[in-house]
């Protein structure tokens, strides 16, 4: 018989699991639905390949009348095993959920084709597919297929998930071109590039920031003004000029796009001789920007 203490502990564990996992699984549900919409409403009616297992499924659908959802399930089973071997039970569970949900959505979402213009289908199919997969990847899941292989490539090569998928899917599209015609294969390549960029956009975010590296002789005064006028944190470090041998302080500051001009004006007001390097930042996690994800 459970004691009140045991019941309280169990409820706390359930609450912790919900906070750490519920949002991720919701993103997987929504993401797979968006991806399935791109496949059924744009790719399949216009004979455009989505690459990977879906691309193979589209070929089998037209040449052997095999339902696409059935191909997704049948061909993904070995890759689910690979996912389990590489990342263990938690990743395998999310991959299993993503694979089953994508197959289910493909089976039930019988959209009337949104367009028969192959260019529009290429663009919007790529956007829908990429946004959906981006949500799934952001939730630390996959939809099976070459997604699993692409995730492995990101661990051994300095590439993003979208680039990894593009690398793998080129080979599938080459076969697609042989099965149908080169024109549709070329449109499929465009769709994959769009999908790849959409995946990276979802994972890296749209609120691009700017990183300033400032080399100055007025580090203390400049730091105080940045903190006081912009409300941004500053990291200070010591540097030395290789040519002159003189010591210089280096400031590192990250600001939003709207603050770039204000920071430039502030720097050159304090130190007209400052050396400034500005770089693009796709995602910033921490105080003043976005909150870090919950630890699981």
Tokens 């990847």 belong to which residue?
Answer: 137
Distance CA 227, CA 79 (A): 50
Tokens 């590489």 belong to which residue?
Answer: 86
Q: What is the pLDDT of residue 171?
A: 79
Question: Quick one: tokens of 15?
Answer: 């609450």
Whether 260 and 210 have beta carbons less than 8 Å apart is answered as: yes
pTM of model > 0.75: no
Q: pLDDT under 70 in the chain at which residues? A: 1-20, 83, 87-92, 147-148, 161-162, 205-208, 283-296
Distance CA 281, CA 112 (A): 40
Q: Hey, CA dihedral for 267, 272, 276, 281, is it positive or negative? A: positive
249 DSSP β-pair partners:
216, 238
Q: What is the pLDDT of residue 39?
A: 93
The one-character DSSP state at 44 is: G
Distance CA 147, CA 164 (A): 8
Please, what are the domains in the chain? Answer: 4-204 (no CATH), 209-281 (3.30.70.120)
Parallel, antiparallel, or unpaired: how do β-strands 247-256 and 235-240 relate? antiparallel
């Amino acid at each position: 018989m459970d004691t009140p203490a045991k019941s309280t502990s169990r409820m706390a564990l359930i609450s912790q699991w919900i906070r750490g996992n519920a949002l991720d699984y919701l993103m997987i549900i929504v993401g797979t639905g968006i991806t399935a919409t791109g496949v059924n409403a744009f790719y399949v009616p216009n004979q455009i390949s989505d690459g990977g297992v879906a691309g193979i499924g589209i070929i089998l659908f037209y040449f052997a009348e095999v339902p696409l959802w059935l191909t997704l399930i049948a061909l993904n089973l070995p890759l689910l095993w690979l996912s389990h071997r590489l990342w263990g039970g938690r990743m395998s569970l999310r991959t299993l959920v993503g694979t089953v949900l994508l197959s289910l959505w493909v089976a039930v979402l019988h959209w009337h084709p949104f367009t028969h213009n192959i260019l529009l289908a290429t663009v919007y199919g790529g956007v829908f597919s990429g946004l959906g997969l981006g949500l799934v990847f952001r939730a630390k899941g996959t939809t099976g297929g070459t997604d699993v292989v692409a995730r492995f490539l990101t661990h051994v090569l300095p590439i993003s998930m979208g680039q990894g998928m593009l690398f793998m899917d080129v080979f599938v599209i080459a076969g697609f071109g042989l099965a149908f015609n080169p024109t549709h294969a070329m449109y499929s390549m465009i769709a994959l590039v769009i999908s790849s960029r959409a995946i990276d956009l979802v994972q890296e975010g749209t609120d691009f920031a700017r990183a300033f590296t400032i080399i100055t002789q007025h580090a203390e005064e400049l730091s105080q003004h940045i903190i006081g006028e912009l409300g941004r944190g500053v990291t200070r470090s010591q540097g030395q000029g290789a040519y002159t041998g003189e010591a210089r302080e280096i400031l590192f500051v990250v600001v939003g796009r709207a603050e770039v001009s204000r920071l430039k004006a502030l720097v050159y007001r304090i130190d007209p001789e400052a050396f400034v390097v500005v770089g693009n930042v796709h995602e910033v996690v921490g105080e003043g920007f976005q909150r870090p994800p919950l630890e699981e």
